[in-house]
């Protein structure tokens, strides 16, 4: 009897842990130690004026009092270096392999080979432009390290690239540099690239301008760090596993292969996001909350309060917003609230669960609002974002945890 009771207790604890999101912490931001009036590394302001500010502690704040509309800031990728070790396996001519940065929609920058050149490229809506190039021949079967650095400056986006043998020391100088001064790309996902070539990729690292490692993936033994998935387009990508690195094998397989192939580091999937939020006293306070599975085109799942009187769950698309559920809930100005949103994909749709409570109070045991999104195609993963409607709002202590 005793062991039976113990098993029941254990399973009760386990199911509670599963319901509350007790997986590994994938991302945390307390907005401390940041120069006031700037955005933290890896964040982008999509609408409104988002900066770090001092409240009781450092917070992320939508600071434009007159802003009318949906103000959104999200974790994104900007001002970073992306590096990977690339082994060219087989090639046609002109073979291309390299690393990708600021990939959003059909746009990206690349540091990649092209025949006997190493170049910095910009892709925009199917057009490819070389921004700078130097003579370089990448030998087959000799792993080389590629590093692409992207920096947003008032004059444009500064691109710098270098390539060196993976068993040698990193050279001080950049091999090729360019400034994209027209309408530069400003943020987007890091990744990998091949064209007319098969290649193996290891030791993928994304580093902020401050030197902080934003993502690192050994890719030698199926190790995933940061809970992020790879998203593939074109080619035949073999995900890392069983001691094998990430590979693009289309040419190796002797299939017809002329198009470019990309592996982009995706966002988080199957996660629970928590944040503290507060609307300025005396403002309009028409809404605030969390967005997850946030994509560069604005698609996301959205949770929060609306007009101080209700909670809602919604799916945003570039075409509009689909409200999935609403329940009554009263929100006060000037008070901190804790919000939690859990998103989990299943065979019949994406389950969304939300709760909100005054930050001084204990977390309620039950979810307050639930909905299942069955709209096709489903959202699979993405970044996290915070949003507010028609007001000055502050956010603090954001965390993303695996379910
Ligand atoms: Ca803080």
What is the CA(276)–ligand 1 centre distance, in A? 9
Higher per-residue confidence, 98 vs 247: 98
What is the CA(399)–ligand 1 centre distance, in A? 12
Higher per-residue confidence, 198 vs 267: 198
What is the CA(31)–ligand 1 centre distance, in A? 5
What is the CA(297)–ligand 1 centre distance, in A? 29
pLDDT, tens digit (0-9, with 9 covering 90-100), for 39-49: 887 788 888 99
| 80-267 CATH fold | Jelly Rolls (2.60.120)
Q: What is the pLDDT of residue 340?
A: 97
What is the CA(330)–ligand 1 centre distance, in A? 25
Q: What is the pLDDT of residue 305?
A: 95
Higher per-residue confidence, 343 vs 26: 343
Q: Which of 118-127, 208-217, 222-231, 311-320 has the lowest mean pLDDT?
A: 222-231
What is the CA(84)–ligand 1 centre distance, in A? 33
For the cut 90, the answer to whether the pLDDT of residue 36 exceeds it is no
CATH topology agreement for domains 23-76+269-402 and 80-267? yes
What is the CB-side half-sphere exposure of residue 194 using CA atoms within 13 A?
31
For the cut 70, the answer to whether the pLDDT of residue 403 exceeds it is yes
Q: Which of 31-45, 352-366, 384-398 has the lowest mean pLDDT?
A: 31-45
Q: What angle do CA 291, 293, 298 make, to 5 degrees?
A: 70
What is the CA(395)–ligand 1 centre distance, in A? 8
What is the CA(112)–ligand 1 centre distance, in A? 40
DSSP 348-377: TEEEEEEEEEETTSPPPSS-SEEEEE-PSS
Tokens of 202: 């290891």
Contact between 164 and 170 under an 8 Å Cβ cutoff? The reply is yes
Across the range 286-303, mean pLDDT stands at 91
Higher per-residue confidence, 364 vs 14: 364
Contact between 191 and 112 under an 8 Å Cβ cutoff? The reply is no
Higher per-residue confidence, 21 vs 389: 389
What is the CA(54)–ligand 1 centre distance, in A? 8
Q: Where are the domains of the chain?
A: 23-76+269-402, 80-267
Q: What is the pLDDT of residue 253?
A: 53
What is the CA(234)–ligand 1 centre distance, in A? 42
Identify the three-state secondary structure at position 20.
helix
What is the CA(223)–ligand 1 centre distance, in A? 31
| 23-76+269-402 CATH fold | Jelly Rolls (2.60.120)
pLDDT, tens digit (0-9, with 9 covering 90-100), for 54-108: 988 999 999 888 788 788 888 778 889 999 999 999 888 788 999 999 998 789 9
What is the CA(32)–ligand 1 centre distance, in A? 5
| Confidence band, pLDDT 50/70/90 cuts, at residue 8 | very low
pTM for this model (two decimals): 0.73
What is the CA(394)–ligand 1 centre distance, in A? 10
For residue 302, say if its preceding peptide bond is cis, omega within 30 degrees of 0.
no
Four-point Cα dihedral 321, 296, 62, 368, nearest 10: 50
Q: What share of the chain in percent tops pLDDT 90?
A: 52
Average pLDDT, the chain: 86
Write out the H or E segment, with its range, that includes residue 325.
Answer: strand 320-328
Tokens 């996660």 appear where?
Answer: 271
pLDDT, tens digit (0-9, with 9 covering 90-100), for 220-231: 433 344 567 788
Higher per-residue confidence, 252 vs 308: 308
Q: What angle do CA 27, 30, 32 make, to 5 degrees?
A: 130
């Amino acid at each position: 009897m005793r062991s039976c009771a113990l098993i029941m207790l254990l399973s009760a604890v386990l199911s509670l842990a599963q319901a509350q999101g007790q997986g590994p912490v994938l991302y945390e931001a307390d907005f401390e130690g940041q120069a006031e009036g700037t955005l933290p590394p890896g964040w982008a302001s999509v609408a409104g004026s988002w900066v770090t500010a001092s409240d009781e502690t450092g917070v992320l704040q939508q600071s434009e009092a007159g802003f009318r509309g949906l103000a959104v800031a999200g974790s994104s990728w900007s001002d970073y270096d992306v590096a990977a070790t690339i082994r060219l396996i087989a090639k046609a001519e002109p073979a291309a392999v390299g690393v990708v940065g600021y990939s959003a929609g059909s746009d990206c920058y690349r540091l990649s080979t092209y025949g006997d050149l190493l170049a910095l490229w910009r892709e925009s809506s199917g057009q490819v432009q070389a921004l700078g190039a130097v003579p370089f021949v990448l030998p087959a079967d000799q792993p080389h390290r590629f590093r692409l650095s992207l920096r947003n400056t008032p004059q444009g986006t500064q691109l710098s690239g270098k390539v060196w043998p993976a068993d040698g020391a990193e050279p001080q100088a950049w091999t090729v540099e360019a400034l994209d001064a027209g309408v530069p790309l400003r943020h987007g996902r890091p990744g990998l690239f091949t064209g007319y070539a098969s290649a193996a990729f290891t030791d993928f690292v994304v580093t902020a301008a401050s030197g902080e490692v934003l993502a690192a993936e050994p890719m030698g033994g199926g190790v995933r760090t940061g809970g992020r998935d790879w998203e593939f387009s074109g080619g035949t990508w073999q995900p890392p596993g069983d001691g094998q690195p990430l590979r693009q094998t289309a040419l190796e397989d002797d299939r017809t292969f002329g198009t470019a192939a990309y592996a982009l580091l995706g966002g988080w999937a199957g996660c629970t996001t928590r944040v503290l939020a507060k609307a300025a006293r005396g403002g309009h306070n028409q809404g605030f909350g969390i967005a997850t599975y946030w994509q560069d085109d604005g698609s996301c799942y959205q949770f929060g309060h609306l007009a101080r009187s209700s909670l809602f769950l919604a799916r945003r698309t570039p075409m509009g917003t689909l409200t999935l559920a609403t329940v009554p809930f009263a929100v006060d100005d000037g008070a901190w609230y804790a919000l939690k949103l859990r998103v989990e994909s299943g065979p019949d749709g994406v389950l969304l669960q939300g709760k909100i409570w005054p930050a001084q109070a204990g977390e309620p045991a039950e979810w307050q609002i639930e909905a299942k999104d069955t709209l096709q195609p489903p959202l699979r993963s993405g970044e996290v974002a915070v949003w507010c409607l028609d007001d000055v709002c502050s956010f603090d202590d954001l965390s993303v945890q695996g379910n």
